[in-house]
Amino acid sequence: MSAPLTASAATSAIAPGARPVTGFWRRALRHRSFVLGAVLSLIVLGAALLSLVWTPWSATDIDIASKLRPPSAAHWLGTDVLGRDIVSLLLVGARSTIMVGVIAVGIGLSFGVCLGLIAAARKGWTEELIMRMSDFTFAFPAVLSAIMLAAVAGPGMVTSITAIGIFQIPTFVRVTRGSANAIWAREFVLAARAAGKGSFRITIEHVLPNILSILIVQATIQFALAILAEAALSYLGLGTQPPQPSWGRMLNDAQTLLFQSPMLAVYPGAAIAIAVLGLNLLGDGLRDLLDPRLARER
Amino acid sequence: MSVFFLRRVLTLVATLFAASLIIFLVLDALPGNAAQMLMGADASPDAVRALTVKLGLDQPLTVRYLLWIKGMAVGDLGNSYVYGTPVAGLIAERLVLTIPLAIMSMLITVVLALAAGIYTAANHNKLGDVGVMSLTQVGIALPNFWFAILLILLFSVKLQLLSAGGFAGWDDGIWPGIRSLLLPAISLAVVQAAILARVTRSAVLEVLREDFVRTARAKGLGKREVLWRHVLRNAMIPVMTVMGLQFANLLAGTIVIENVFYLPGLGRLIFQSIANRDLIVVRNCVMLLAAMVVTVNFVVDMLYAFIDPRIKVSNL
Amino acid sequence: MSDAPLIEVKDLGVRLNTSRGPAQAVRGVNFALRRGETLGLVGESGCGKSVTALALMGLLPESAVISGSIRLDGAELIGLPDAAYCKLRGNRISMIFQEPMTALNPMHTIGHQVAEPLRRHTGVSAAEAQLEAIALLDRVGLPDAAKRVDAYPHQFSGGQRQRITVAMALACQPDVLIADEPTTALDVTIQGQILDLIAGLVEERGMSMILISHDLGVIAENVDRMMVMYGGTVVESGATDAVFARMGHPYTQGLFRARPRLGARKGTRLKTIAGTVPELADLPAGCTFADRCAIVEARCRAALPAVVDVGAAHGVRCIRTDVSMGAGGSSA
């Protein structure tokens, strides 16, 4: 009853927050960017899963005789310079993209969340040290650290995943620490401390569950960034190595043929853009749906 | 102010040292011997040993690190393992391309982003806002090198207005050079601008909700006046933070984009040096890029103090 | 002092778009204010008093739908283009807000902010405006005004900042001052000083004032007439003395009883009003107070009660004044 008596309180007394959660899915299905993002992401995921059991042609078999074919009934989007079927390459490429993304985000998430939680729980010089380190890591974009790693360990999928994963860590540290600090300041944590619970138990029982939705949103968006970074590294030849198909690699191959077969450069890029757009929209939608207070002006 | 400044300078120097140490350890300590890598696995041990001594790689790690630091202080970065020419010269002739490219794309980014961000915030929830915001959503999803390829397809292959790659240099005046950097700069800028536009918009919207905006309106200022005189300066703080962070991405982006357009810049030098196993060039280039990123973020920190009167007192 | 009202509000209604759908934040508000007169608006948060003030300032969100009429010196303000309204705001009508900590722009000096309305409305030079700003800051009791004119808001305390906003509001000698909870955010010791300052300035300059507060004590001491608002409607209005002497509306009576008093016997519980303030988005039909009223009847819920005159210019929006103002029902 005693809400602050500002002029805006008159209008916001009737505004958000109070809405009872009447089924996550019912609200989700009405949320435009969530639905669009989910559909696009599912398409990419579906393509990757499909490639495990079926592709129209083999994605690795080389057939020079039928190279650079235009789209036809046999090859829906044509073939590349080595005669491989574009549709098959795209499907298998989705698989490598998702794999790199999942592992890289997994690395960033597990290390970043742990460090962030420790920083929020321990405060003092521990927090200072962790934050300085993460600021510092941030100065090395994924491409730069991948280049360093490739210079010493040679290019490859492991190199690119490691570089992208390391680059993901500081973002998760920041997000985790920021939201965990907010939870630590809440009354129920104070109550738990008064009840004699240690900081480890409070972190596991109170802090982590309360920041989970924020982490899910962040992971979705980081997934999109990981896909972009993987594509760039593969394009440079520092990521996924042939004959394993990848979207970035396909773009590199296509660039030498821009004047002959321009469409070859369009499909893989469009696939990357669809995957990234889908995940970004999904992340925005989840942010609105999971935590209305977090939802900034879209 | 001076305490604030001093602390920041110390942090800057410490960060640079940390960066140099990590770069040195990753590139020079982990992989065994650079000479072996240069000559390949089948080289005779004697030849490898001779090269090791010639390149000074037989000295202890700490000595080599200190020699490198000392070299950086006096501008002598050593000679390329592959070309045998001074690394400093190699880098300098590449920077002539990369620095103008970075500046051009940062300028395009800032102009596009501020225009779009302020326009959409001023027309919040109207048709123009929704349209421009959808565009930025797509823009963020574009891989910059793919966008570059699309630009080449359009302007070079279809319209044949601009060349698909290469750099004209600055010898024939400024325009041919700028012309050949135009498409690369745009393809770097568009994606960054999409992100920055969204940041600008939400920063402006956030400030528009502040009480002092209502106070300014109550004084009789029109919406436009309030936006320009009261809102923008407050909104610039988060925008500048993101701009500083974006600079790192922009430099990383030049590595990719220079390869798309076959531009002989710093990024391409790094890339070629990796292929050539020319670790001394890689080490110095990466250090230079890291130093640029750290320095730009230092300058952004300084600008905060310039923009926000509150920072001078509460030294961070 | 002429008899023609300076401000005349007739049947003011404001519809706001909220996330819960359109809400009638204010309806059927009528009052007139003569030059030099002071009016108090009292009620709980969300009762529509601040929305009424913002409607007078023309500062409601664009999506708000305003009906009725607001006249300043006979000229209609509703529907006035923003450019024309800007010429009135800060010039003829000024406003002081609740939160001095956030009402000032942290990026500009206080001198600049106080001089801004002068520069906007009077066309004086920057140097003249600066001198005038110093004089104003001096008048509102800011120590060392001449020296501190180039300081930034964060260098002042809450009370000092509220003095600065007062100086800002008075810069152009407005006809009407709207003070929206001007002391709510301040320490109790400072509250009195700021209210005295405002009252003194209103008296000195012959301004009219609309003082908004949730505190009956503040209203009783500072204004000639008062209006009690509840659920977007004015439930009782009249001369301050008359309303305090014979409270007609059950809500006014409840508000009075819920006020903490000095000298109350230790252990005496504060009387609260049962229930909570209704959501403006789904107000009940009929009397807005019906759900919390002790003497509610079926017919109270049928339609919004009309205003009943219970004394000279003392109106109560209640159909049961016979009971509420009868024996035992009054002020207590």
Given CB atoms, is A100 within the 8 Å cutoff of chain B?
A: no
Report, in angstroms and rounded to the nearest whole number, the Rg of chain A calculated over CA atoms. 23
Residue B3 has pLDDT above 80, yes or no: no
pLDDT score recorded for residue A8:
34
**Residues of chain C positioned with their CB less than 8 A from the CB of A13:** 45-46, 277, 279-280
Which of residues C31 and A134 earns the better pLDDT score? Answer: C31
The CATH number given to whatever domain includes residue A107 is: 1.10.3720.10
Chain C residue with minimum CA distance to A12: C18
Q: What is the pLDDT of residues B54-81, one digit of tens each?
A: 777 778 888 889 999 999 988 888 888 8
> Which option is the CATH number for B87-314: 3.30.300.30, 3.20.20.70, 1.10.3720.10, 3.40.50.970?
1.10.3720.10
**Residues of chain B positioned with their CB less than 8 A from the CB of A140:** 248, 290
Residue B36 has pLDDT above 80, yes or no: no
Candidates C258, C230, C257; CA nearest to C316 is C230
pTM of the entire predicted model: 0.83
Q: Which residues pair with C176 in a beta bridge?
A: C93, C208
Residue C95 has pLDDT above 70, yes or no: yes
Local confidence band at B30 (pLDDT 50, 70, 90 cut-offs) = low
Determine the structural domain holding residue A118 and report its residue range.
Answer: 94-243+256-290
Which of residues A114 and C328 earns the better pLDDT score? Answer: A114
Q: Where are the alpha helices (DSSP H) in B60-218?
A: 61-74, 87-122, 127-141, 144-151, 174-208, 211-218
Q: Which of A3, A15, A19 sits opposite C45 (nearest CB)?
A: A3
Per-residue pLDDT, averaged over A274-290, amounts to: 89
Report the percentage of chain B scoring pLDDT > 90: 42
**Residues of chain C positioned with their CB less than 8 A from the CB of A6:** 50, 98-99, 181
Q: Which chains touch C (3 or more CB pairs under 8 A)?
A: A, B
Lookup: tokens for C219: 């209203």
Name the burial class of residue A201, with classes exposed (0-12), middle (13-18) and buried (19+) by CB atoms within 10 angstroms of its CB.
exposed
Lookup: tokens for A4: 């602050």
Residue C3 has pLDDT above 80, yes or no: no
Report the percentage of chain C scoring pLDDT > 70: 94
Asked if residue A267 belongs to a domain, the reply is yes
Helix H or strand E encompassing B296: helix B279-307
The one-letter amino acid code at C195 reads L
Cβ–Cβ under 8 Å, residues C60 and C51: yes
Total count of domains within chain A:
1
Candidates A60, A107, A104; CA nearest to A82 is A60
CA distance C70 to A109: 58
**Residues of chain C positioned with their CB less than 8 A from the CB of B205:** none
CA distance B286 to A139: 11
Mean pLDDT taken over chain A: 81
DSSP classification of residue B60: -
Using an 8 Å CB-CB cutoff, list residues of chain B that contact chain C.
210-212, 214-223, 230, 233-234, 307-310, 313
**Residues of chain C positioned with their CB less than 8 A from the CB of B308:** 106-107
Task: Indicate yes or no: CB of A1 within 8 angstroms of CB of C19.
Answer: no
Q: What is the pLDDT of residues B68-121, one digit of tens each?
A: 999 998 888 888 888 888 999 999 999 999 999 999 999 999 999 999 999 999
* Residue to substitute from A12, A14, A30, interface C, most C β-carbons within 10 A: A14
Going from the C-alpha of C147 to that of each of A44, C53, C62, C86, C111, the distances in angstroms are 66, 35, 41, 31, 10
Task: Indicate yes or no: CB of B218 within 8 angstroms of CB of C57.
Answer: yes
Side-chain half-sphere exposure of B85, counting CA atoms within 13 A? 7
pLDDT score recorded for residue B308:
82
Chain B residue with minimum CA distance to C180: B215
Tell me the three-class secondary structure of chain C, residue by residue: CCCCCCEEEEEEEEEEEECCEEEEEEEEEEEEECCCCEEEEECCCCCCHHHHHHHHHCCCCCCCEEEEEEEECCEECCCCCHHHHHHHECCCEEEECCCCCCCCCCCCCHHHHHHHHHHHHHCCCHHHHHHHHHHHHHHCCCCCHHHHCCCCHHHCCHHHHHHHHHHHHHCCCCCEEEEECCCCCCCHHHHHHHHHHHHHHHHHHCCEEEEEECCHHHHHHHCCEEEEEECCEEEEEEEHHHHHHCCCCHHHHHHHHCCCCCCCCCCCCCCCCCCCCCCHHHCCCCCCCHHHCCCCCHHHHCCCCCCEEEECCEEECCCCHHHHCCCCCCCC
Cβ–Cβ under 8 Å, residues C60 and C78: no
What residues have CB less than 8 Å from B145, skipping those under 6 apart? A231, A232, A235, A251, B187, B256, B257, B259, B260
Asked if residue A282 belongs to a domain, the reply is yes
**Residues of chain B positioned with their CB less than 8 A from the CB of A251:** 143, 145-146, 149
Q: Which residues pair with C229 in a beta bridge?
A: C234
Least confident of C25-29, C47-51, C157-161, C264-268: C264-268
pLDDT score recorded for residue C262:
62
Given CB atoms, is B26 within the 8 Å cutoff of chain A?
A: yes
* Residue to substitute from C19, C27, C165, C186, interface A, most A β-carbons within 10 A: C19
pLDDT score recorded for residue A124:
84
pLDDT score recorded for residue B314:
46
Asked if residue A261 belongs to a domain, the reply is yes
Local confidence band at A20 (pLDDT 50, 70, 90 cut-offs) = very low
Asked if residue A147 belongs to a domain, the reply is yes
Lookup: tokens for C317: 């929006």
Per-position DSSP letters for A80-129, written without gaps between them: -TT--BHHHHHHHHHHHHHHHHHHHHHHHHHHHHHHHHHHHHH-HHHHHH
Neighbouring CB atoms inside 10 A of C166's CB total 27
Given CB atoms, is A298 within the 8 Å cutoff of chain C?
A: no
Given CB atoms, is A228 within the 8 Å cutoff of chain B?
A: yes
Least confident of A129-133, B200-204, B230-234: A129-133
Which of residues A110 and C190 earns the better pLDDT score? Answer: A110
Helix H or strand E encompassing A184: helix A157-184
Total residue count of chain A as it appears in this document: 298
Candidates B209, A1, A16, A19; CA nearest to C45 is A1
Residue A260 has pLDDT above 90, yes or no: no
Chain B residue with minimum CA distance to A140: B290
Chain B residue with minimum CA distance to C81: B222
Candidates B42, B119, A11; CA nearest to C47 is A11
Local confidence band at A291 (pLDDT 50, 70, 90 cut-offs) = low
Q: What is the pLDDT of residues A49-93, one digit of tens each?
A: 888 887 777 777 777 777 777 887 777 777 777 778 888 888 888
Q: What is the pLDDT of residues C269-320, one digit of tens each?
A: 667 777 777 777 777 788 888 888 888 888 888 888 888 888 888 999 988 8
pLDDT score recorded for residue A297:
36
